[in-house]
Chains A and B, each alone.
Chain A
Amino acid sequence: MSYFGHVFTHLRKDLQLEWRSRDSVVGMLFFALLVVIIFSLAFDPTAAVSRQIAGGILWVALLFASFTALNQSWTREQRNRVLDAQRMSPSPASALFLGKALANLIFVSFVELVLAPFFLIFYNLHALGQGWMLAVVMPLGTWALVCNGTFFAAMSLRTRYREVLLPLIMVPISLPALLGMMQATTAILTGESDPGIWIRLLVAYNIAFTTVCLLLFETVLSAE
């Protein structure tokens, strides 16, 4: 089987597991919705203020919501020691990582799609800049979150306080990407600046971190 055949096998299995349990997506969705609604009620922003703060609120909500899914995705592998069976198979470790990161991308993207109408209603939003560019920023930002998150969740898998450790490691390392996605989203919503530089930052960040994660994943997986 080809490398991408292995990736597809892992991806399909993760989608199947989530379809049966639905615990990652449901948990993420409710958390993200709560954050969006609470911030809206707390600040009661005008349309102009909304455009300024919406990018930050959206990505912070997605970042914190994604922690639950990222931890959950590896907990499933640890249950019944399935991870040992994975490690014993001759399949490349990086294919497991890529399959899982793609599955997480699909889960977080689904949450974004459900969240979008609520966000538009609660924050009374319409983009003053080039709104179509959100279709570029959202997948790039989401990939930055799930790629790093899947990697660091695997790294903290064998630690006692993994739920705490994941945000502690992930947030500082994701800061450039978080800045890129927030600034790009705000630039698109307000139309006051060009989001191009932030999008380029996100692309560069994603290329660098995806490469590093793929190269180092086998070491992380076999760490004792």
Chain B
Amino acid sequence: MNEARQADESARTTGLLAAARLDGVSKLYGGFAALRKVTVEFAAGSSTVVLGENGAGKSTLLRMIAGLIAPTRGAVHVFGDEPRWQRRRMAYMSHEAMLYDELTAMENLRYFARLHGGCVCGAPEQALRAVGLDPALTRPVGQYSQGMRQRAALARALQTDPELLLLDEPFSNLDVDSAKHMVELLMEFRTRPVSTAAAEQGARGRTIILTTHQAHLAEPLAETTLTMRAGTILSVSDAAREGER
């Protein structure tokens, strides 16, 4: 734990702070180990695709970085701190919409924007337009198609201008065209400059961690590919190094 903190401190001073890091993390549910002694670092400004079969531990890994579940053993750091203290700097999107069915997309986004404490003026409208949804749509989210729900969910995650974006199976239930459109949106999101306040805090661009079992769809985002099996990391491959070879 102390070593991890020291490493964070030294990384902070050299400007190479990891967006997220797991040190010897295990997660046990009774006798079942969802994660087994996982040690991995996600560099700030990088884009990582986590691959693996169902039950490989991808979602557990992501939910742990999001601070939604605590590790049984080991430590998780987000921007060198406990995840719960960095909620303002990250956003999480699951394969479920995480929106109220009874409200419109605009009402949902405004509600979450207010909870985030940010300026509600303009951000929800912009986020909805960016994902191709009409902010004036009066239908409640419960009546949306699956593709529209996923886009509204992405808008919710993007409206807070996160430095770290966690996406858990974002392409599930989407047709190929909708999935490609989502990848384009995420590619565009990566190129957006971080806010001045974030830059002053040492932010080095936007970080994306995406889990999927549809590797071909996420390929454009796979700067680094991490493969998991049975709660362990099987391999880590870097697209740039692969290209050099």
Contact residues of A with B, CB < 8 Å?
1, 5-6, 9, 13, 16-17, 20-21, 76, 79-82, 84-91, 222, 224
Q: Which residues of B sit under 8 angstroms from A76, Cβ to Cβ?
A: 100, 102
| Contact residue among A6, A20, A88, A222 (Cβ-Cβ distance under 8 Å from B91) | A88
The 3 closest A-B pairs by CB, nearest first: A91-B115, A89-B115, A20-B102
**B116 A89 Cβ-Cβ under 8 A:** yes
Report if B41 contacts A (CB, 8 A).
no
In the complex, the answer to whether A79 meets B117 with C-beta atoms within 8 Å is: no
Q: Spell out B's residues near A (CB within 8 Å).
A: 66-70, 87-88, 90-92, 94, 96-103, 107, 111-112, 114-117, 140, 156
A90 to B87, CA, bound (A): 6
Further pairs besides A85-B98, A85-B156: 19, Cβ < 8 Å: A1-B114, A5-B114, A6-B115, A9-B114, A17-B102, A20-B102, A76-B102, A80-B96, A80-B98, A81-B96, A82-B99, A82-B100, A84-B92, A84-B94, A84-B98, A87-B68, A88-B66, A88-B90, A91-B117
Q: Which residue of B lies closest to A91 (CB)?
A: B115
A82 contact set on B, CB distance < 8 A? 98-100
Can you list 24 pairs linking A and B with CB atoms under 8 Å apart? A1-B117, A5-B114, A6-B114, A9-B111, A9-B115, A13-B111, A16-B107, A17-B102, A17-B103, A20-B102, A76-B100, A79-B101, A80-B101, A82-B99, A84-B92, A85-B98, A85-B99, A87-B68, A88-B91, A88-B92, A90-B88, A90-B117, A222-B70, A224-B69
Q: How far is the CA of A81 from the CA of B157 in the complex (A)?
A: 14
Min CB distance, B26 to chain A, in Å?
14
A1 and B70 alpha carbons, distance in the complex (Å) = 28
- A17 contacts B100, C-beta separation under 8 Å: yes
Q: Which residues of B contact A84 (CB under 8 A)?
A: 66, 68, 92, 94, 98
How distant is the Cα of A21 from the Cα of B88 in the complex, in angstroms?
Answer: 31
Residues of chain A within 8 A of B111, CB atoms compared? 9, 13
Interface centre among B67, B70, B96, B111, by most A CB within 10 Å? B111
Q: State in angstroms the CA–CA spacing of A90 and B89 once bound together.
A: 10
B115 to A86, Cβ gap below 8 A?
yes
Using known A-B contacts A1-B117, A13-B111, A80-B96, determine if residue A88 contacts B67 with beta carbons closer than 8 Å. yes
- Chain A residues lying within 8 Å of B116, measured Cβ to Cβ, are 89-91
User: Taking the nearest CB of chain A, how far is it from the CB of B18, in angstroms?
Assistant: 20
In this complex, what residue of B is CB-closest to A20? B102
| A contact residues around B98 at 8 Å (CB) | 80-82, 84-85
Q: Which residues of B contact A89 (CB under 8 A)?
A: 87, 112, 115-116
Contact A80 B97 (CB under 8 A): yes
Q: Which residues of B contact A13 (CB under 8 A)?
A: 100, 103, 111
The interface residues of chain B lying within 8 Å CB-to-CB of A79 are 100-101
- Contact (A81, B94) CB under 8 Å given A20-B102, A88-B66, A90-B88: yes
Q: How far is the CA of A1 from the CA of B111 in the complex (A)?
A: 13
Q: How far is the CA of A9 from the CA of B103 in the complex (A)?
A: 14
Residues of B within 8 Å of A224, CB to CB, are: 69-70
Our pick among A20, A85, A87 for the contact of B140 (Cβ within 8 Å) is A20
